[in-house]
A and B are shown apart, each in its own frame.
Chain A
Amino acid sequence: MDWRDEGVLLSVRRHGETSAIIEVFTAEHGRHAGVVRGGTSRKIAPVLQPGAQLDVTWRARLEDHLGSYTVEPLRSRAGVMADRLALAGLNAICALLGFVLPEREAHIGLYQRSVTLLDLLERTDAWPLAYLRWETNLLEELGFGLDLTRCAVTGTREDLAYVSPKTGRAVSRDGAGEWASKLLPLPMCLLGQGPVTDADITQGLRTTGFFLGNWVAPSLGNKPLPAARQRLVDLLARQG
């Protein structure tokens, strides 16, 4: 059996002397691994860089086999390599997708948002905000979405300032009361309001990071979150 699809390369591992096992986040087949024969050759190895947009054809005798890929490059994202922050962003996106996505399960919406975000890395300096929104969407896609529409205590839509670490629901300043110190901060940029600073984005990433680390990771065998994400947060914090 075989299929052809487009996808983002997430990771590459050497397989034997000349081949490579790659993981591609494809539009219609989700995160899918396969062997690339000659994947370590001088011709193909430069194409197999994480973040690269590929046209892939997968073939296997049976559906549950690892199978083999033939790849054609569509877009290289090598342009980010000179930019420290953008490169950290690319690493964080690929590492998180590889960490959280189940194999062979299509997530078309997430795929499209991920491709848009990866394209933004080279085009604009405003991508960190897009990255923060991508992480909130990622949580939603995985079934751990935050409800930031109204206060979980009072029901108001005004003055939302915190997120409950237990429910992922927004809490207003009045609703928080003496529990404020136990709640996670809710920067305005997570609500899509107000001016955005790097400090706000970092704060937002710490909040989404809490849910990735405490809700998502335990459901995946309690492995730690990829170090690439923490590196991005650290770089943004230093910049802010």
Chain B
Amino acid sequence: MSDAPRDIDHLIELMAKLPGLGPRSARRAVLHLIKKRGLLLNPLADAMHAVAVSARECLNCGNIGTSDLCEICQSEKRANGEICVVEDVADLWAMERSQVFKGRYHVLGGTLSALDAVGPEDLRIPKLVDRVISEEVKEVILALNATIDGQTTAHYLAEQFEGSDVQVTSLAQGVPIGGELDYLDDGTISAALKARKSV
């Protein structure tokens, strides 16, 4: 008897560790891949191998790319004096999907957390300070989550640039597009009211 079932079991075990998948859904996914061997399994295996070989963290911003410097950091067009600070690579990708921001990014790799003992030295904050100086940044846009930890980190970063010529801004907080006031929590309504603007 071949050792194929053991290999397949191993693949199912690995797939089950992916976010959103459990043992049962992993088994279904593996079965589907095997049935679509030419269309999915082989290309997927090739793509995963290629990514495993080439994927790396950008040495400058922390984005994930295939070279030491990601495409955004390599592009001269994006050196417009603005850096958008995000918590995680997923946030960077979300910002890029909007196609609105034309500057560069900086991925912190988390937020300050007193409870989890995450301090400034555990994040990429010193690197951000270096970049602001070396890349002659004029504006730092803090695109951090509207959570207690996210905003604590935002205030800490704002302190780092106090007294310098760098303008520090943050994303607005308030009513989302398509949101109905009746369904908003009091904290969001309070933030929206404080950030009101003339029409």
Contact = CB atoms under 8 A, between A and B. Distances in A.
Do A and B associate with each other?
yes
Interface of A: 11, 13, 17, 46-47, 49-51, 73, 75-79, 81-82, 84, 87-88, 90-91, 94-95, 98, 226-228, 231
Kindly state the interface size class of chain B when it binds its partner.
20 to 34
B1 interface: no
B178 interface: no
Contacts of A47: 185
B191 interface: yes
B185 A73 contact: yes
B152 A79 contact: no
A17 B20 contact: yes
Contacts of B19: 17
A227 B117 contact: yes
A51 B114 CA distance: 14
B191 to A, nearest CB: 7
Given A49-B147, A226-B114, 8 more contacts: A17-B19, A51-B148, A76-B185, A94-B115, A95-B115, A98-B115, A227-B119, A228-B114
9 contacts: A47-B185, A49-B147, A76-B185, A77-B187, A79-B187, A81-B146, A87-B155, A91-B114, A231-B114
Contacts of A228: 114
Contacts of A17: 19-20
A49 B151 CA distance: 12
The listed residue with most A CB atoms (<10 A of its CB), out of B146, B147, B151, B187, is B187
A153 B1 CA distance: 90
A18 to B, nearest CB: 10
A182 B116 CA distance: 35
Contact of B148 (A49, A73, A84): A49
Nearest to B162: A238
Interface string B169-199: 0000000000000000111101100100000
